[in-house]
Amino acid sequence: MRQHTRTVAAVSHVDGDVDRLARFVEKAGEAGADALAVIGDFGGAAGRGPDAYRRALVVLGEGELPTFFVPGPGDHPIHEYLAECYNAEIVFPHLRGVHGGFAFGPGHVLFAGLGGEVVDDRSHVEGAGDRIVQPGWEAEYRLKTLHEFKDYPRIFLFATPPAHKGLHAPGSSTLEELVKTHAPRAVIAPGDDVRAVELGRSLVAAAPPLASGTAALVDVRGQRVQTLKLD
């Protein structure tokens, strides 16, 4: 049992590639990662659904590292995704989905997150279309309990990056404010390649798509990120 969480290996957009996902789990262990962070989409546009989620979660479960994850916008409908997460976490207790909630990792580090796409339009109605999309106020509501755990170090997982000009990608102003308010040690969100920027007192690390053949190796204490090659 690991006693601390210093290094987190992270990828995004599994897209049903369970073979490469298995390599990610293997390479992360070889690199000495203390935990894994995985940002959806898990099934991908062509293969989403219960079977795709189950295959990916079994691969993660067969690894030995504590693993934390959130769905991507394409992991719709959310009830199918959550049902498979529920079943997988019974079989593999070291798997913890943190969509709209939190779980503790080694060393009492609190992992919290929100999957899907977050839009800052407060009038947006959740559930329209075939993607997981939620208004910014829902992110604020779901994560408000974190105020009760302010003494624990925190790591956030988002499927939508917080707004930050250094990320060179669209982001959510709501999530930016949440990061500034809660000051997690690290924020992990999807990105085209491995990079990191500072946002307030937090390190925002981009987790590359699994198909890129790389992962981010995030040092949450040293506040830096390295590239982990999978191929």
Q: Are the C-beta atoms of residues 56 and 36 closer than 8 Å to each other?
A: no
**Helix, strand, coil percentages in the chain from 3-state DSSP, rounded to 5:** 35, 30, 35
Inside any domain, residue 2: no
Q: Are the C-beta atoms of residues 193 and 208 closer than 8 Å to each other?
A: yes
How buried is 5 (Cβ within 10 angstroms: 0-12 exposed, 13-18 middle, 19+ buried)?
buried
Inside any domain, residue 102: yes
The percentage of the chain sitting over the pLDDT mark of 70, rounded to a whole number, equals 94
Instruction: Tell me the CA distances in angstroms from 216 to 55, 123, 127, 173, 229, one per residue in order.
Output: 22, 35, 31, 24, 9
Strands (E), the chain: 7-12, 35-39, 67-70, 95-97, 101-105, 109-114, 117-119, 133-135, 154-158, 186-190, 195-199, 202-207, 214-219, 224-229
How far is Cα 171 from Cα 174, in angstroms, rounded to an integer?
A: 9
Inside any domain, residue 58: yes
Rg of the chain's alpha carbons, rounded to an integer?
16
CA 161 to the chain's CA centroid? 10
CA nearest 150: which of 184, 188, 180?
A: 184
Q: Which domain holds residue 36?
A: 7-226
- Give the CATH number of the domain where residue 80 resides: 3.60.21.10
Tell me the residue length of the chain. 231
Per-residue pLDDT of the chain (231 residues; tens, 9 = 90+): 567 899 999 999 999 999 999 999 999 999 999 999 999 999 876 667 899 999 999 999 999 899 999 999 999 999 999 999 999 999 999 999 999 999 999 999 999 999 999 999 766 655 556 889 999 999 999 999 999 998 999 999 999 999 987 766 789 999 999 999 999 999 999 999 999 999 999 999 999 999 999 999 999 999 999 999 998
Inside any domain, residue 139: yes
Inside any domain, residue 1: no
Inside any domain, residue 164: yes
Domains in the chain: how many in total?
1
Inside any domain, residue 138: yes
CA nearest 11: which of 90, 70, 82?
A: 70
Structure tokens at 185: 């040690």
